[in-house]
């Protein structure tokens, strides 16, 4: 982990992911940042100044990075307001479906843009983010974006922007799939007569513990699955249902393909 203090940052959008990023930056050492969000009350602070509108940005503030964390549908109206920073700052976008080319059209074709897709575990510092650097992004700018994203978890980079669509379907949408599994396990436990509070605890802790084991292990997921599956045991019987051709193997592939296709549609 770098001990170098982060340079001035402008954060546009102070929602869940934006707030998680700001918290991570504070922990890593932040010189100063300004966050713009009309839904947040104006708040002075030693590290992060929150203002409601771009007009509230202090005169002379010169960010090294502008992090775009607004809703994608608001991009056309909001993003051009920050084009004046394009000469000296890199733009780091975490807006789903907004392409590098589309953002450069709003900011000016000389703008250096990095597109990234984080996921919601960033809120607890366990995020997974995949990023892609656009034309003109320098080595130092890419390194800065990597540091900003690493403040909330693991970061990986791809050279092909088209991969951001399946990335969105896997890691971006993936937490929803896991939460659905917890929901269904809890329901199934109740159906089997387990008290509701115990069913919820069991489902959540089983998923959280399994994730921790997976993260700590050097074995692949298939090996860990097989280690839990005793021949002719209860787990084997359950997996015989889940791994039928029309069950999980096909459904997960179809779900990811559908999410990836929708991501491409949104990028339009």
10 Å Cβ neighbour count for 228?
A: 12
DSSP 168: I
Tell whether 22 and 95 lie within a shared domain.
yes
Q: What is the pLDDT of residue 268?
A: 62
Tell whether 60 and 149 lie within a shared domain.
yes
Q: pLDDT digits over 94-151, tens only?
A: 998 899 999 999 999 999 999 999 999 999 999 999 999 999 999 999 999 999 999 9
Tell whether 30 and 137 lie within a shared domain.
yes
Return the percentage of the chain with pLDDT > 90, whole number.
83
Give yes or no for residue 2 having a pLDDT over 70: no
10 Å Cβ neighbour count for 200?
A: 18
The two tokens of residue 247 are: 């069950």
Q: What is the pLDDT of residue 248?
A: 96
Q: pLDDT digits over 177-192, tens only?
A: 999 999 999 999 999 9
Residue 4 domain-assigned (yes or no): no
Tell whether 156 and 199 lie within a shared domain.
no
pTM of the model: 0.90
Tell whether 36 and 130 lie within a shared domain.
yes
Q: How many domains does the chain have?
A: 2
Tell whether 88 and 211 lie within a shared domain.
no
| Mean pLDDT for the stretch of residues 249-263 | 95
Q: What is the pLDDT of residue 42?
A: 63
CA-nearest of 100, 115, 111, 26 to 67 is 115
| Mean pLDDT for the stretch of residues 229-255 | 96
Q: Can you give the residue range of the structural domain that contains 241? A: 174-267
Three-state SS at 133: strand
Residue that has been written with the tokens 């897709």 in this structure? 117
Tell whether 98 and 209 lie within a shared domain.
no
Q: What is the pLDDT of residue 57?
A: 95
Q: What is the pLDDT of residue 43?
A: 64
Structural domain ending residue among the three candidates 164, 182, 207 = 164
Q: Which H or E run includes 215?
A: helix 196-216
- CATH code (residue 184): 1.10.3730.10
- Give the pLDDT band of residue 209 (cuts 50, 70, 90): very high
Residue 232 domain-assigned (yes or no): yes
Residue 3 domain-assigned (yes or no): no
Structural domain ending residue among the three candidates 164, 195, 214 = 164
Residue 205 domain-assigned (yes or no): yes
The two tokens of residue 108 are: 């000016």
Spatial separation of the C-alpha atoms in residues 44 and 94, rounded to whole Å = 25
Give yes or no for residue 1 having a pLDDT over 80: no
DSSP 230: -
Higher confidence at residue 117 or residue 1? Answer: 117
Q: What is the pLDDT of residue 44?
A: 59
Residue 92 domain-assigned (yes or no): yes
Radius of gyration over every alpha carbon of the chain, rounded to an integer in angstroms? 21
Residue 144 domain-assigned (yes or no): yes
The two tokens of residue 104 are: 């450069």
Q: pLDDT digits over 50-77, tens only?
A: 999 999 999 999 999 999 999 988 999 9
Q: What is the pLDDT of residue 40?
A: 77
Tell whether 81 and 125 lie within a shared domain.
yes
- CATH code (residue 43): 3.40.50.720
Give yes or no for residue 155 having a pLDDT over 70: yes
Tell whether 194 and 62 lie within a shared domain.
no
Three-state SS at 92: strand
All residues at 6 or more sequence positions from 122 whose CB lies less than 8 Å from its CB, including other chains: 17, 20, 21, 24, 129, 152, 153
């Amino acid at each position: 982990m770098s001990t170098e203090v982060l340079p001035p940052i402008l954060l546009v959008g102070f929602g869940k992911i934006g707030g998680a990023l700001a918290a991570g930056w504070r922990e890593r050492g932040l010189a100063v940042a300004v966050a713009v969000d009309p839904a947040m009350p104006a708040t002075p602070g030693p590290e992060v100044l929150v203002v409601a509108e771009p007009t509230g940005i202090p005169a002379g503030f010169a960010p090294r990075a502008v992090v775009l964390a607004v809703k994608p549908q608001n991009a056309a109206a909001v993003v051009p307001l920050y084009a004046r920073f394009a000469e000296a700052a890199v733009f780091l976008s975490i807006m789903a479906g907004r392409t590098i080319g589309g953002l450069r059209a709003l900011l000016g074709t000389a703008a250096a843009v990095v597109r990234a897709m984080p996921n919601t575990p960033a809120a607890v510092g366990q995020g997974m983010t995949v990023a892609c650097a656009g034309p003109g992004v320098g080595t130092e700018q890419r390194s800065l974006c990597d540091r900003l994203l690493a403040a909330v978890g693991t970061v990986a980079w791809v050279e092909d922007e088209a991969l951001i669509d399946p990335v969105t379907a896997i890691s971006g949408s993936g937490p929803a799939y896991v939460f659905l599994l917890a929901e269904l396990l809890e329901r199934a436990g109740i159906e089997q007569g387990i008290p509701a509070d115990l069913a919820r605890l069991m489902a959540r802790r089983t998923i959280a513990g399994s994730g921790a084991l997976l993260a700590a292990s050097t074995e692949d997921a298939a090996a860990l699955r097989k280690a839990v599956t005793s021949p002719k045991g209860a787990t084997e019987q359950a997996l015989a249902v889940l791994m039928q051709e029309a069950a999980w193997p096909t459904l997960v592939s179809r779900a990811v393909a559908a999410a990836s296709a929708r991501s491409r549609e949104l990028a339009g």
